[in-house]
C-alpha cells in the first residue's frame, strides 16, 4: 500500500524535523527515520493504528512522541497529520 502525505502533514513533518535538528544535531534525521520505519509498517499492515473515529486511525512513532494520523482511501494510506501526542488533540479534524 502506498503512503501519501497531505500538504499540511508534510509541513508538520518538516517543521518537527527542523525543530529537533535545531535542538540536537542528528535528531531531526532520527525523527525522519522513525517516521519512515512507521510508514513502512503502516504500508504493510494498514489496520495497525488505533481507531480515532469512523475514518481515521493513529499509529505512534516508536521513539518520538508523535502519531501518524491517517485514513485509508482509494487503496492508499493518506497521512492527515504528524501530530504530537499531547498537543492540541484533534486539531487536524478539519482536514478530513
**Domain CATH for 24:** 3.30.2310.20
| DSSP helix/strand/coil, 49 | coil
Q: What is the pTM of this model?
A: 0.92
Write out the H or E segment, with its range, that includes residue 81: strand 76-84
- Domain encompassing residue 63: 2-95
CA 28/CA 96 separation, integer angstroms: 27
State the total domains in the chain.
1
Provide the terminal-to-terminal Cα distance of the chain, rounded to the nearest Å: 20
What percent of the chain clears pLDDT 70, i.e. is strictly above it? 99
pLDDT confidence of residue 29: 98
pLDDT in tens, 68-81: 999 999 989 999 99
pLDDT in tens, 32-51: 999 999 999 999 999 999 99
Amino acid at each position: 500500500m502506498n503512503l501519501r502525505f497531505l500538504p499540511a502533514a508534510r509541513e508538520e513533518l518538516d517543521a518537527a524535523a527542523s525543530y529537533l535538528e535545531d535542538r540536537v544535531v542528528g535528531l531531526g534525521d532520527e525523527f525522519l527515520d522513525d517516521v519512515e520505519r512507521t510508514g513502512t509498517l503502516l504500508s504493510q499492515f494498514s489496520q495497525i493504528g488505533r481507531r480515532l473515529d469512523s475514518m481515521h486511525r493513529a499509529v505512534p512513532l516508536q521513539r518520538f512522541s508523535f502519531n501518524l494520523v491517517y485514513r485509508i482511501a482509494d487503496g492508499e494510506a493518506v497521512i492527515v497529520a504528524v501530530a504530537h501526542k499531547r498537543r492540541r488533540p484533534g486539531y487536524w479534524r478539519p482536514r478530513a
